[in-house]
A and B are shown apart, each in its own frame.
Chain A
């Protein structure tokens, strides 16, 4: 069933047809915002994205930027099985596999690139992963870059998890710490 909504477009009255009054009314709104922002910058409604972002609501389950999880020894959990690349509808994941000579895991990703400019943030890669190695829980919304290069995540930046964090282990540990804290184990 298509629902039908009747719209009653009233004909313009004389004051509106003259336009001048309506223009003045519009300018009044703009000027009002201008002076509010000038004297009360804290009350500005817009955010200069991406320099500033609004923190996401704490309980919201958003799909955000990807990260690769680590094992306790610091190696990536990913075994380069290519299932995320297979599942990806946007063809934004590029993996090259390599072999550990000693490790019993045998296989690891030598290259793991995600092109965020192609990513449609569907979360299929997370669903497909048999090793629970990829997650989209960094709470960082992709986008807002000055060049395409900035949107290309390589293995290092996926393992680093958050921008500006010094060590590879830092962010994973922080996320793991937060998780444990939320369960009351730390």
Chain B
């Protein structure tokens, strides 16, 4: 356990700790481009140079291990001069693209220039070395070699995290640039992370490109509902529109975020977003649709079947359970889903595409219910006249619905989800618009936070269920999502 001194403060660190990590523990920030906590050490950007007493030259903090008795200075004049020189060197050939660069506002070069340099350029703009400008590499990314500072974070990401090794540095010395390996395309499931870790604007996202300047974006911490992994994310939005999702690195679940997960926000703003009810195939206003659905439920009462959904939050599932058990007093309800879970590709994507399979188990423990097979059997036998189900969960009882053809009342947020042959479809607010509790595959509680407002008239699902109950002559009297959770162990 070596003890070292950084800027006059002593600290005992574990053997093998680098100076940069030790400084971080002390709260001393050392600027860096090539260093990333989850990638191997490259030591090529030279931005983290620090002064170590008795060492003849400045040392790179990211790759120097702490030894007993080391005395480190991170803000001496020599270090400051070195940072200024490294920045000048990186900026000699960096294009003046800031006005058209998406990275502007969260750019390593801009930030460090303001913090550590502020020097006038001694080189003329006309002398800058020109390189290949924007070029689409893969379905998600644009590469601009002129902006690259060759920190090789992207190369290391592809070889160490996804292990697909699509990128490499070609040529040598000041001719070198980042390129795709021959015959490869940058099309793995994690490419957008490269746009995140790129400290400059060399890699930018094609999806986010030119949509919004980053300084306008507001950030809401929430959860990705793309699969059972339940990655923590941040939704970046402005004026009621979500523009991108980025990961919130955490020790339990994720450092990165997969591309399909990043694009889940699209459904919220998609053109097929449901803001009205659908009866058979025709759109009608929400109120008449609710009344129609409620009338069908009222006719059937005990012959109604209710199916929970692993795509819905614990609250909304609990509201469905209360509707079946307390309001309709039917025994035909099912909260029994046992999809196989586990990380499919060794990084993040889960075998279970639904985000809340574990959360539904809580509702089942509190309210009981049939097994999925038993519910299918009852539907097939014809004793069920009306089925209430979330659109995607209706896929679990597809065959039974086809065989017996009961009236299906589905809950969906987008038109594309509506199952074939559904009698009525009622819209509900997405979990980017209302809060909801989810349990990921590790059993960790994940709560979504609303980042945008739901379209006018579209209510959270528990409120839709509450109205259905009231209109069908029974009553739930739910005033909030939390009330539905009564009796459910959280």
Question: Which A residues are within 8 Å of any B CB, using their own CB?
Answer: 79-83, 86, 97-99, 104-107, 130-131
Contact = CB atoms under 8 A, between A and B. Distances in A.
A82 B100 contact: no
Interface string B348-370: 00000000000000000000000
Interface in B132-174: 133-134
A98 B104 CA distance: 17
A99 B210 contact: yes
B263 interface: no
Given A106-B100, A130-B99, 4 more contacts: A81-B100, A82-B213, A99-B209, A99-B210
A130 B97 CA distance: 11
A97 B133 contact: no
Contacts of A106: 100, 133-134
Nearest to A82: B213
A81 B215 CA distance: 12
A107 B100 contact: yes
B99 A131 contact: yes
Nearest to A106: B100
Contacts of A130: 98-99
B206 to A, nearest CB: 10
Contact of B133 (A82, A83, A104): A104
Contacts of A105: 100
Contacts of B99: 79, 81, 83, 107, 130-131
27 contacts: A79-B99, A79-B100, A80-B100, A80-B210, A81-B100, A81-B104, A81-B213, A82-B213, A82-B216, A83-B99, A86-B213, A86-B215, A86-B216, A97-B210, A97-B211, A98-B210, A99-B209, A99-B210, A105-B100, A106-B100, A106-B134, A107-B99, A107-B100, A107-B210, A130-B98, A130-B99, A131-B99
Nearest to B99: A81
A107 B100 CA distance: 6
Contacts of A99: 209-210
Contact of B98 (A81, A97, A98, A104): A81
B145 to A, nearest CB: 14
Interface in B200-217: 209-211, 213, 215-216
Contacts of B216: 82, 86
A83 B216 CA distance: 11
A130 B100 CA distance: 11
Nearest to B206: A99
B106 to A, nearest CB: 14
Contacts of A104: 133
B350 to A, nearest CB: 35
Contacts of A81: 98-100, 104, 213
Contacts of B211: 97
Nearest to A104: B133
Contacts of B104: 81
Nearest to A131: B99
A106 B147 CA distance: 14
Contacts of A80: 100, 210
A137 to B, nearest CB: 21
A167 B188 CA distance: 49
A32 B156 CA distance: 89
A82 B209 CA distance: 14
A86 B210 CA distance: 15
Report, nearest first, the 9 A-B pairs whose CB atoms are least far apart. Answer: A81-B99, A107-B100, A97-B210, A82-B213, A79-B99, A79-B100, A106-B100, A130-B99, A99-B210
A79 B213 CA distance: 13
A82 B210 CA distance: 10
Nearest to A95: B213
Contacts of B210: 80, 97-99, 107
B420 to A, nearest CB: 38
Contacts of B134: 106
Which of B133, B209, B213, B216 has most A Cβ within 10 Å? Answer: B213
Interface string B279-321: 0000000000000000000000000000000000000000000
A82 B99 CA distance: 8
A177 to B, nearest CB: 28
Contacts of B100: 79-81, 105-107
A55 B279 CA distance: 65
A83 B99 CA distance: 8
B260 to A, nearest CB: 24
A182 to B, nearest CB: 28
Interface in B86-108: 98-100, 104
Contacts of A82: 213, 216
Contacts of A107: 99-100, 210
